[in-house]
A = this chain, B = another copy of it.
Amino acid sequence: MKNVAIVACGLAPFGVRKATWRELVQEASKAVFDDVQNLDKKDIDSLFVGAAMPERFAFQSHVAPLVAEQVGIVPHKVVTRTELACSSGQSAVRTAWASIVTGLSDIALCLGVEKMNMPNMLETQTSMACVLEREWDGVQGASAPPFFAMCAQRHMHEYGTTVEQMAMVSEKNHHFSTTNPYAQFQKEIPAEKVLGSPMIAPPLRLFDCSGITDGAAAVILTSEERAKEFTDVPTYIIGSGQCSMASNLANYKSLSTWHPLKIAAKEAYRSAKIGPMDLDFAEVHDCFTISEIIEYEDAGFCEKGEGGKFIEEGQSNIGGKMPINTRGGLLGTGHPLGATGIGQIVEIMQQFRSTVPKERLVDGAEMAMAHNLSGAANVHSILVFGRSPR
């Protein structure tokens, strides 16, 4: 398969922003074009927009041409939006990747965006109920926090995982996000503060949960052959895995083991011809603290049931076995649904270029992965990246 490279990246600051949906698009697009050398906007022939729910959050559908117009490009090869809830951004990158491999596209912009903070926040919260299976689960109140709370309870029951260990995930990721001026939360949140924060869905407290965030992120992709025209340090896509299993909660095999993640990870490592510990660091989907702990296990960074120990021993910190979520994760950076997956890839590219602040630099990193789950953890999506092509 032809190698594909990411040659530029850019962010709009994440947070509770006064900016509109389209202003977020403009900010990320300015950032990505500021980051690229020798590229005229008219050379972008394809556009892939990752957006989860603009129809509800911004009352706007058909968002791909709207983004094209805001950015100032005329996509004349391939143009679409991809929606996969919290993985919408990564889905845009995967789709662009395939389009370039086929030759349908030469140079593609991927832009992920979500404007979640609305004048009436009740409407944001209500809308989130339709990310889960609405007719059977959402209608019973099964939005994200109660679902992940059930996963946490089951994990605690089966493996002895503790709320203190979960709190450590939050502390670590909030510590990383103090180094990230694009993050929604830039203050230290020590574990004791997590444990004293308001209860949301037992055992998950406020600081066990990622935020409701506005933000945008963008990357530009092209073939390996052309990559060096646009950047000195391209980031190559070297592997991929994805799996969807069940939707209705009644059909889940387990809450504490995420089988679709295991399948996606196996395929990602197989296609990249690596094992999990060949990665130098990973961006994983810590929508809640328990998510990151289960992901340590089911992505293969530690044995099943030892995720709690993994954070406790500092193995997911810089200097540990597998540094995780160095930009601050969803917990520290915020979680603008469509932007999250691309925001993770921005971190990976900046790590490979060694342009992140020294406190969070994984020195000499050669390989990393970006993982997203979506909905009630029923879909898992992984891309593997390298400083070198396959």
B76-A80 in contact (CB<8A): no
| Nearest CB of chain B from residue A50's CB, rounded to whole Å | 10
- Considering only CB atoms, which chain B residue lies closest to A21 in the complex? B135
A354 within 8 Å of B (CB atoms)? no
Q: Which of A294-339 contact B (CB under 8 A)?
A: none
Q: How far is the CB of A135 from chain B (nearest CB, A)?
A: 8
Interface of A is mostly: mixed
* Known contacts A69-B251, A374-B62; is-contact A267 B76 (Cβ 8 Å): yes
Residue from B47, B56, B77, B98 within 8 A of A56 (CB atoms): B56
A291 an interface residue at 8 Å Cβ cutoff? no
- Given A102-B1, A375-B62: A95 and B69 interface contact (C-beta under 8 Å): no
Contact assessment for B65 and A61 in the assembled complex, using a CB-CB cutoff below 8 Å? no
Chain B minimum-CB-distance residue to A85: B62
Which residues in window 116-159 of A have CB below 8 A to B? 127, 130-135
Q: Which residue of B is nearest A266, CB measured? A: B76
The 8 A CB mask of A21-55 against B (1 = contact, 0 = none) is 01000000000000000000000000100001101
Query: In the complex, which residues 51-80 of chain A have their Cβ closer than 8 Å to any Cβ of chain B?
Result: 52-53, 55-56, 59-66, 68-69, 74-80
Rounded to whole Å, the gap between the CB of A47 and the closest CB of chain B is 7
Least distance between A114 CB and chain B CB atoms (Å): 12
Distance of A60 Cα from B68 Cα, bound (Å): 26
Chain B residues in 8 Å Cβ range of A61 = 52-53, 56, 83, 85, 127, 130-131
Give A243's nearest chain B residue, CB to CB. B76
Whether B78 pairs with A94 at a CB distance below 8 angstroms is: yes
Interface string of A238-280 (1 = CB under 8 A from B): 0010111111100100000000100110010000000000000
Does A178 interact with chain B (Cβ within 8 Å)? no
> Which residue on chain B has the smallest CB distance to residue A49?
B83
Known: A75-B244, A243-B75. A80 touches B95 (CB 8 A): yes
B244 and A47 within 8 A (CB):
yes
A378 within 8 A of B: yes
* A82 B82 Cβ-Cβ under 8 A: yes
Closest B-chain residue to A73, C-beta based?
B244
Chain B nearest CB, measured from A48 CB (Å): 9
Most buried by B among A61, A84, A94, A375: A61
Taking the complex as formed, is A101 at the interface, i.e. its CB lies under 8 A from any CB of chain B? yes
CB distance A84 to B94 under 8 Å?
no
Given contact pairs A83-B80, A103-B1, A133 touches B66 in the complex (Cβ within 8 A): yes
Binary contact track A373-385/B, C-beta < 8 Å → 1, others 0: 0110011000000
Q: Which residues of B contact A55 (CB under 8 A)?
A: 53, 55-56, 127, 130
Q: A94-B78, A101-B101 are in contact. Are A247 and B66 (CB under 8 A)?
A: yes
Residue picked from A82, A98, A130, A248, most chain B C-beta under 10 Å = A98
CA distance in complex: A80, B97 (Å)? 14
Q: Which residue of B lies closest to A94 (CB)?
A: B78
Which residue of the partner chain B has the closest CB to A91?
B80
The smallest C-beta distance from A328 to any residue of chain B, in angstroms, reads 25
Answer yes or no: A99 CB below 8 A from chain B CBs. Answer: yes
For A99, list chain B residues within 8 Å (CB). 98
17 A–B pairs (Cβ distance < 8 Å), ordered by A = A47-B244, A53-B61, A55-B130, A60-B130, A60-B133, A62-B374, A62-B375, A65-B374, A68-B244, A69-B248, A77-B267, A80-B94, A80-B95, A81-B82, A82-B82, A82-B83, A98-B99
